[in-house]
Chains A and B, each alone.
Chain A
C-alpha cells in the first residue's frame, strides 16, 4: 500500500489480496537473515506491477521496521515457550524457576 501510494498507482482489491497471498507465501520461504525482506519485497512489487525503486525508500526505514519485527518474533517465541512450559508443568510460574 505504501509503494502504491508513493507512485500514485492505487491497487484494486484483487491486487491487494494478491499482495497478501504472495507476501505470506514468500515469508514462509524467506531465510532468516537481515535484509532478506527487502529482497523479497521486489518479488511482491513485481507481481502487481509496481516500480522496484520503491525498495530504496523502504530500505531507509528497514532498520526500524526490522527491530520492531524482531521484537515481535522474539515475543512470540517466548509466548509459545511459556505455553509449552505450562502444559508440561516445567516452570513454576510463582517465581519463574524451572521445576526440574
Chain B
C-alpha cells in the first residue's frame, strides 16, 4: 500500500472514499427499491416502515458485528415477547 501511495499519491484515499460512498449508496438503493418497494409493498403488501421498524435491531447488529449469524436471535423474538413455536 505504501508503494501504491508513493506512486499514485494521496489521491488514492479519495478514491477509496468514493468507493465506500458508492457501495453505501448502492446498498441504500437496493434496500429501498428491491426490499422495501418490490418485496414489501408490491409482493407482500406489507408496510415497508413496519419492516424497517422490526428490522432495526437486526440491521444494527449486523452492521456492528459484521456477521449474518449473530442477528437472527434479535429478529426471531417478535415484539410481543413470544418465541418461535
- Among B44, B46, B50, B59, the residue within 8 A (CB) of A75 is B59
Instruction: Please state if B78 and A34 are interface contacts (CB–CB under 8 Å).
Output: no
The answer to whether B78 and A98 have CB atoms under 8 Å apart is: yes
Pick the contact of B68 from A32, A57, A93 — CB < 8 Å?
A32
Among candidates A54, A67, A78, A100, residue contacting B66 with C-beta atoms closer than 8 Å: A67
Main secondary structure of the interface of A (DSSP, over half): helix
B8 touches which of A6, A34, A64 (Cβ 8 Å): A6
Given A6-B15, A56-B1, answer yes or no on A68-B27 (Cβ-Cβ < 8 Å).
yes
The contact size tier of chain B is 35 or more
Q: Is the CB of B19 within 8 A of A93?
A: no
Within 8 A of A (CB), among B58-76: 58-59, 61-68, 71, 75
Residue A47, interface by CB 8 Å: no
Known contacts A32-B68, A68-B27, A97-B78: does B63 contact A2 (CB below 8 Å)? Answer: no
Q: Which residues of chain B come closer than 8 Å to A13, judged between CB atoms?
A: none
B51 to chain A, nearest CB (A): 6
In the complex, which residues of chain A have a beta carbon less than 8 angstroms from the beta carbon of B8? 6-7
Q: Quick check: A77 and B78 within 8 Å, CB to CB?
A: no
Tell whether, in the assembled complex, residue B50 and residue A71 are in contact, meaning their CB atoms are under 8 Å apart: no
Chain A: residues with Cβ within 8 Å of the partner, total of 43
> How far is the CB of B17 from the nearest CB of chain A, in Å?
8
How far is B63's CA from A64's CA once the two chains are assembled, in angstroms? 9
B75 in complex: contacting residue of A2, A53, A78, A83, CB < 8 Å? A78
Q: Smallest CB–CB gap between A9 and chain B, Å?
A: 12
Does B10 sit at the interface, judged by CB under 8 A? no
A68, B65: Cα distance in complex, Å: 11
Task: Tell me if A96 counts as interface (CB < 8 A to partner B).
Answer: yes
